[in-house]
Structure 1
Amino acid sequence: MKKKITIFFAIVIILLGLFGLTGCNLLENNDNKEENKVEVQEENSLDGLAVYQEEEDANYKLCEDMEGITFKCPSNYTSVGKSSSQPIYMDPDVPGASVNVVSENMPSMLSFEGYIEASKASVKNQSQMTILGDITTEYINLNGVKAAKLIYQAKQSNMELDITQIVLEKEGKVYVFSLGGLTKDREVLAPKFDKIIKSIK
């Protein structure tokens, strides 16, 4: 019973972090509207970004084809609460570990980088969990698309989680992939999450 409660709260925490990135009050950056639009042309370059490319693995399956975005996960991952707009998959071998995806329309007044900065501020200011330390940001070349990789730790009650979020824009929509689990399971989850991230396209 205790393990099930831990799993439930871990999923809730990860979802809260995920929702902090989407639907946040991005309109506060409206004053920088023109500046942000100029940034789009200059900052969408893939030059110099770390390259993430899909690695074929027979133990991974197509988990979701969501409005043109696909990703793979380990073949034993199970779908919980799957819907066309918000798929959630859990790792049956690691309690509390999950992969979640949400999407929203890209606000027209923001560049991709502006969206990321506004989203990070929203995550830091939410009250449902405590963000431990900084949110690190790395822009990457994810199968030929510029994406942001955000990494942070969060705490609620006595549980500490590691959360990695991959954010990318495609055809006017922003997709946020949240991969998370208990901090104690970091070494077990890292290779799995790395392959999932590399499969996003």
Structure 2
Amino acid sequence: MATRSWLLLTYKVPPEPAKGRVAVWRKIKAMGAVYLQNGVCLLPKTDDHLRRLKMLENDIAELAGESVLLETVGLDRGQEEKVIARFNADRDEEYREFLGKCADFEAEIARETADEHFTYAELEENDEDLKKLRNWLAKIGKLDFYGSGLAGQATDRLAECEALLDAYAHRVFDAQDENREGRGQP
């Protein structure tokens, strides 16, 4: 098995203005990095990550901060597995949050169905919510570098949400057709 290598960024930025420090942190987290400790983060070595971290080094310098970017490897398979476990733990946390939002989506469809609220406006709102879930899962998936254990469950759950919305849409279409048919009759 090939040795995995990572990009290790260590940085320090002045505490004020806080928005600069927060902006750096957000950019790093958005790339899917794991923090080993404050100001020390790790990403899989890719050309994209290298490019983005080099640009971030410039941002840090503009904030009057300091940074060092290194390439590193685990000393042995055990260390490598610890790093991968950290990445997967972060993704699992995001997948769990996603699964919770899927449960919320399913509960909303159940409420609308129980209340027989079969309108195009509700369908459109629920369709937008499903699009948000799709986009969110895609975003998590792009950061799932090592195949988190919850990835499959999240994908399956999204498919269940899609099927649920499809069934709800059919109920809306049926209800709207009934309303149209009843309008022209005395």
TM beyond 0.5: no
Identify the TM-score tier after normalising by the shorter chain. Answer: under 0.3
Whichever structure has more helix as a proportion of its residues is 2
TM, length-normalised to structure 1: 0.23
Whichever structure has more strand as a proportion of its residues is 1
Structure with the greater alpha carbon radius of gyration: 2
TM, length-normalised to structure 2: 0.24
Higher relative contact order (CA 8 A, sep 6+): 1
